[in-house]
Structure 1
Amino acid sequence: MATELHLVSKTGMFQEMESRQHRMTADEPENNHGTDKGPAPYELLLASLAACSSATLRMYAGRKGFELGTITADLKFKRDADGNEKIERVISFSENISEERMERIRDIIEKTPVTKTLKRGTPIVTRFE
């Protein structure tokens, strides 16, 4: 799986991005030198994790033939005074899910592609042209 993104930054913290036919923006809030015209980079990171989590759970439930109803995901990125970072992810469903199915869902959520990428710390190779 290859994924690509093209970014153009003309001035300040505002960023314009393209991925396939989709256009996105990113910015920092005003209290962090931005203009607040889009989500901040860490918010986009959380959005990626939330979207992948929900999509993976939908695929799993679809294959197993049961409903999850509305999926709600609330994520927070936290950094403590020592610089330790963590993401808190809270997932809920509007449908009642049996404990047996919830046990499997707990396993599946830890194996979503973005979860695995973040947990293993994917290397980043940077080149300047």
Structure 2
Amino acid sequence: MATVSLHSHLHYAQQISARQHQLCADEGAAMGGEDSGPNPYELLLSGLGACTSITLRMYAERKGWELGDIDVRLDFYRDEAGGEHIDRTLACSAPLSDEQRQRLLEIAAKTPVTKTVRQGVAITSMWK
């Protein structure tokens, strides 16, 4: 379904290949990195946000709803007890009814990446 590869030459900077696309990741200066790209949590949120926006657009197109521009903001944080949370805020430039907004919230809760993050996924590691 998806494959990426990463290469790290020096320090924390990562060169990421995803199909024909090249990305980078790094830690911010406060974490000892050079801030040459988003940090891993920002990349995780980016995937969740992209999936959310794409899924909402697909759903709205099937319904014949105009959304205009879609904005998704995601905030990751840990509470005092160490629990991890993601807050997702949605906005569209087109006017929507309360019923449409509620239905889109329901759809956002069911996007493929949302489901993966919520349920977790098995990760197997091995040396080449």
TM-score (normalizing by structure 1): 0.96
State the match for 2:97 in structure 1.
98
Structure 1 residue 123: Cα displacement:
1.1
Structure 1 residue 125: Cα displacement:
1.0
- Residue 3, structure 1, aligned to residue 22, structure 2: no
Equivalences for residues 1-129 of structure 1 within 5 A: 2-129=1-128
Structure 1 residue 28: Cα displacement:
0.4
Structure 1 residue 103: Cα displacement:
2.2
- SS of 1:58's equivalent in the other structure is helix
Residue identity over aligned pairs, in percent, reads 45
Distance 2:105 2:71 in 1: 15
Structure 1 residue 38: Cα displacement:
0.3
Structure 1 residue 82: Cα displacement:
2.3
Structure 1 residue 62: Cα displacement:
0.5
Distance 1:117 1:73 in 2: 18
Distance 2:58 2:103 in 1: 13
How many residue pairs get matched?
A: 128
TM-score (normalizing by structure 2): 0.96
Per-residue displacement from partner, 1:91-121 (whole Å, max 9, x unpaired)?
Answer: 0111111122222112110110110000001
| Alignment-mate amino acid for residue 75 of structure 2 | K
Q: What residue ranges of structure 1 are gaps of 5+ in the alignment? A: none
